[in-house]
Every structure is written in C-alpha cells, then in structure tokens.
Chains A and B, each alone.
Chain A
Amino acid sequence: MRKFLIACAVIFLAAPLWAQREYPMTDSLVNDYAGMLTWRQRDSLEQRLRTFNDSTSNQILVIITPRLYGEEIIDLAVRIGHEWGVGQEGLDNGVIILIKSKCEEEPYGDASIVTGKGLEGALPDAFCIRIIRDQMIPHLADTDYFSALTAALDVIEPVCLGEYNYQNYQNEHARKRTPDDVAGNITLWLFVALGVGYLIFRIRHRKHPRTTGGDTSDDGDSDSSSSSYDYDDDDDDDDDSSSGFIGFGGGDFGGGGAHSRF
C-alpha cells in the first residue's frame, strides 16, 4: 500500500521533470524561440497584444518554438498557460497561440490555438481549427509567421471582445472574497473568552506572521506558487503575479483548443 503510494508519488512528481521541458515565465506576450520573426515584427505584435491586454484584460500569448520534445502541442500550450497563469484569475480569458516551426530534428510544423476556460464558449474548438486552417496555415506554409499571427489575431481579438468586456472584469474584481477565515476567527475568539485566548493568539500569530488581510493590489510578492506545497495554505487562490511589467493574471485552461499540422 505504502509502496504503491510512493510509486505513485514518484511517477507524478518525477515524470514531469524528465519528460517535460521547462518554459520559464517571461514578461513578454510574444516569445519566439525559433527566430521566425524579425525584431520589428516581434515588437509590433507585442505592442498589439499589450494594448489588447490593457484595454480588454484578455491575454493572448504567442509562442513559437522549433521543438516539442515528444510532448503533444496542445498539452504543452495548456501547461504553459496553466503555469504562467495566462488570462485573468476567475475569468480565465487567456488564449495561447503556439506554433511549432519545422526543424531538422522534428521536420513538421504544428499550429495550435488554446483557449482559457472563459473563452471556450466564444472560441470553441471547431472555430479554432478554422482559424488555424483558414487564416494561419496558408501563411505558415510560406514561412510567413507574422502574417499568420496577424491574420489569426484579426479574428480572435473581436471574438474575445464579444464574450465580455473590461466592465465585467472590474465588477468581478470589486467583489472581495469573504473566506472561512472570518468564521474561523469567531470560533477563536469564543475560546479566547474561555481564557485561553492569549495562547491561541500566539500560536495563530506564529503560524501567520502577517495576518492575511485584504489583498493589496501591488504585485510585490514574487511567490512561486505553482508547485511548492504550502502546509498552511487554507485557500487555493494563488497569486500568480509575475515580476514583469505586464503580469499574467492567473487564468486557467481546461484543455480547450485545436491544432493542425502544416
């Protein structure tokens, strides 16, 4: 029994380590690891996506990589989206356009669009495959990655806008969470009244050196919240704020999207 559990733990913890390649978070929305874009093209795309992010909170991340190292392209895109937290938390309005360019070791191209949970309605898989086939692949076949991306964005951006707007986002964030902490504190104070308050208070305080108040909106904490398991973590709201100047919002991905080879 115990062995089985340990074996499981080893498989699930170790497997990603050797099977998957790390893609450390950047502070850029256009990540061209294959060198398919010129500087000017990269900058113009970056500018476009940042503006789109700033005005709508929809985050579209572009990644071009020459190799997948055996990973399925959708799995990789979902993994990056999850790890980086593309899109806003709670809205899950991230989109990832991941293109695998041809290279000697892996001589095929693969283009994918992966949608955050919040955009699966606006961008269903069948729509994604259409965008890939109709807008992107004709350009990708000519190795014109910039035109492929521009053509895809011309469709994706307005679609995202139909789903919801910045107003919703602001309303959503105006609501503060009222977690179980409050209830927990009431029980605490009841016991305080019984005369053990002092002790409890001290223990509580040692556990939470700084009491968790309302979340301050500046992203000062650079906690790597993804895999590290926090013993004291009561809620699963991880603040995935990046140190970059955009900041990915902590959106999540459920596996929606499509891909097609070229």
Chain B
Amino acid sequence: MKKTSIVLIVILAAVGLGILWGIGINNKLVNAEENVKEAWSQVENNYKRRMDLIPQLVSTVQGAANFEKSTFTEVTEARSKASSVQVDANDLSEANIANFQKAQDALTSALSRSINVVVERYPELSATQNFRDLQVQLEGTENRIATARQRFNEEVNKYNRLLRVFPNNIVASIAGFEKKGYFTAPEGADEAQSINFEF
C-alpha cells in the first residue's frame, strides 16, 4: 500500500516535471514566434506603404505634357502581381517568403527603372516639389523596407535557432512549430540598391 503510493507519487512527479519542462520550451517558442510575427507585420506595413505610394506617383506623372502610358506599365503589372502574393503571418515558410520576396523585388526594380525614365523624359516634372516629395517618400519607404527586412531576418534567425536546438526540436515537432523563411539578398543586389534617387 505504502510502496504503491510512493511509486505513484514518483510517477506523477516525473510526468508533472516533463509537462512543465515541455510547457516551458513551448512558451519560449511561442514568444520567439510572436517576435517573428511582429517583425513580419512591420515588413508588410512598409511594403503596403510602398504600394500606396505608387498610384500617387502615377497620377503625379500623368499630369505631365506628352505623358506616355508605357512609362508605368511595368510598374502597374509588377504592383498587381506583388499585391496578389500575400503571406499569412501564421505560415511564414521558406517557400512563402521566397515567393513574396520575388514579387516585391520585381516591383522594386520596375519602380526604380520607371523613376529613372521619368527623370530622363520629363525633366520639368521631376523638378517640381510634388515629384521631389514623392521621391523622398519612396526612398524613405525603401529604407524602411530594408530595415524591417533585416529585423525580420534577425528574429527568424533567433526563432530557427531555438527551434533546432535539442531538446527543443522534440517539443517543436510535437507542438507543430515549423522553420521560417528568411529574406535573401536579391540577385544583383547592387543594381537594385543603386536606385538613383539623387536630386
């Protein structure tokens, strides 16, 4: 009688400890995941902000004399493609991030090309305060995107490391945590970055 109750207590204690330990790890992963999601929302915000600036840019340039529609076809196409690629914050897998980045990076380069075209083709327009302000806003948005992406990568790095360490990986596989994707430096990063926003 006494022996069995002692055994029972020991087993209960062991199970209790195991559960506690698992909960602890689980909570750490949840925290890390929340940080990643938060960083992701910053990334999304900043990309959204850029999306919102494009119609402004188009309408500003449309007012120019001898405006050619072709100036922005590439941008509008890239924009609609980019806006169709949405990533759920709960599914930041490598494939999803890569898709998202591909669409957004295409928009980045389309945008920089068309800005250069505008500056070349419509010198009077690009000298106006309105257009300059837009340029500043676009550049600021690109800076914010870069910062948000870097922070996101940092958080993902923390999370993925936490995930892969033993014994966390056991808990993670039971609780269904999955590795998350990074932003990579875009191909021809130097080109993309040398958007000529100089005035």
Contacts and interface: CB of A to CB of B under 8 A. Distances in A.
A234 interface: yes
B143 A256 contact: yes
B145 A255 contact: yes
A200 B16 CA distance: 10
Give the residue among B20, B46, B165 with the most A Cβ atoms within 10 A: B20
Nearest to B14: A196
24 contacts: A5-B160, A12-B153, A12-B154, A13-B157, A74-B143, A75-B143, A124-B140, A188-B20, A191-B20, A195-B9, A195-B12, A196-B13, A196-B16, A199-B17, A200-B20, A235-B31, A236-B35, A254-B42, A255-B148, A256-B140, A257-B140, A257-B143, A258-B136, A258-B140
The 6 tightest CB contacts between A and B, nearest first, are A255-B147, A125-B140, A255-B144, A255-B143, A196-B13, A126-B136
Interface of A: 4-5, 8-9, 11-13, 15, 72, 74-75, 78, 124-126, 129, 180, 184, 187-188, 191, 194-196, 199-200, 229, 231, 234-236, 253-258, 260-261
Interface in B75-112: 94
A241 B27 CA distance: 28
B127 to A, nearest CB: 14
Give the residue among A196, A235, A261 with the most B Cβ atoms within 10 A: A196
A244 to B, nearest CB: 25
B157 A12 contact: yes
Identify whether the interface residues of A are mostly helix, strand, loop, or mixed.
helix
Contacts of A13: 157
A255 to B, nearest CB: 3
B137 interface: yes
Contacts of A124: 140
Given A194-B13, A199-B17, A257-B143, A125 B137 contact: yes
B193 A72 contact: yes
Contact of A196 (B17, B140, B198): B17
B158 to A, nearest CB: 6
A78 B157 contact: no
Contact of B143 (A78, A184, A234): A78
A125 B136 contact: yes
Interface of B: 9, 12-13, 16-17, 20, 23, 27-28, 31, 35, 42, 46, 94, 133, 136-137, 139-140, 143-148, 153-154, 157-158, 160-161, 164-165, 179, 182, 184-185, 193, 198-199
Contacts of B144: 254-256
Given A15-B185, A124-B140, A125-B139, 12 more contacts: A12-B157, A12-B182, A125-B137, A125-B140, A254-B42, A254-B147, A255-B140, A255-B144, A256-B144, A258-B136, A258-B140, A260-B199
B42 A199 contact: no
Give the residue among B144, B158, B165 with the most A Cβ atoms within 10 A: B144
Contacts of B16: 191, 194, 196
Contacts of A11: 184-185
B182 A129 contact: no
Nearest to A4: B94
B146 A75 contact: yes
A75 B151 CA distance: 13
A194 B165 CA distance: 30
Contacts of A196: 13, 16-17
A126 B133 contact: yes
A4 B35 CA distance: 23
A11 B137 CA distance: 30
